[in-house]
Structure 1
Amino acid sequence: MNNMLRYFNVFILLFFVFGLFAGCDDSGTNNDDTLIMPLGVGNLWRGTLWTFDETGEVLFEQSSDYHISESNYYNGKIWYIVDQITDGDTASAVFIFRNESDGLYTRYSTDTLAALTSLWAKFPASVGDHYYSGPGNIKEVTVTATDTVVETVYSEYICNVYKHELTVYTWPIYDKYYLAPNIGFAKIERYLADIDGQLYLYQRWVLELFEKASSSE
């Protein structure tokens, strides 16, 4: 009887230890089935970008895609480099992401020897969740919704909404990221202040099609 109890205790201990390491691995993958941002070299979010003036008039309508072009290692963990390609022009490394057990993290430098990392999109999340991100905590992040429906050309998605507000300006300037679980980017809005300090919608990007690479999480 004592031997059986000893074996049972060993089994429980091994199960608990395995559970500690199963949540997230060095590939940046949450082993849970749901991710707020699927990551893998080749992942592509095709979309349209509109730019507006202070009156709401459309200045530009452009094809704009987010593409994971490569990955690299920092502190023994893999990170994914996201480029933005707008009308054929590429802005490299607009985001550097990896998934952890508490959500999506970003790295604020391509320098793999000295870089700042911080939580970018908490997941799972609740309305009202609040934290700081970025160099010197210059971004105040608030989860404003977890059930917002974003309608796109081919589908609709239920999204978490993350408001990223810069705290270093006299007037509020912020971005809103609408992220759908297992899809990632569904909509992005950028708000600026005019000369009178009034906020206006400067840019809106909306997903048209998500193409997931075979190597993705």
Structure 2
Amino acid sequence: MSTTRTRRAALMAATVTATLVLAACGGNDSDDASHGSSHGTSSSPSADTAAAHNAQDVSFAQGMIPHHRQALEMAELAADRASSAQVKDLAARIEKAQDPEIKTMSGWLKSWGEEVPEAGASMPGMDHGSQSGMPGMMDDGDMEELGKASGKGFDTMFLTMMVEHHEGAIDMAETEKAKGRYAAATAMADDIITGQTAEITEMNKLLGKS
């Protein structure tokens, strides 16, 4: 509880005090970021999907699906609320990368005979507002604050939250790389690490953190 409160206070402080460093010519940032944001995968369920997977692969897919869905929820808000073209572009790239990954992971789970997390619902032990099992997830209060924000305040809050969200996804992906067995899942995890690490660098630059 104290961790959530402390984090929310930090987010609000960042919203009030952080100065966005949004260069007039953002072409280079977009070019650099586009390389890092291509972390989607064209993998699709096939006849051998059910083979050579383990419990970690199932856990990865069941955890990353709702994690990605929250990122999409945050990104969708940016279309109407962000003031920065660079933030809007980043949000669009996040949607483009993560939506196909949700579909791919859902296909794996169906092929494995495992439960696919329903939209708007969390897996057991992974409550929407809980940090346990879902690193980087925002709680309901965080999402409500983001939904109320607009303009530069939204930009700062979105970037600050998404950095934390990406860091959580990277943690989950690193566990999959270390313990997963299904080749397509570990490959997606590697793509997530590469792409979201690059996006964190981009977002920190927009927040003025170099």
**TM exceeds 0.5?**
no
TM-score (norm 1): 0.24
Larger Rg: 1
The two structures have a TM-score, normalised by structure 2, of 0.24
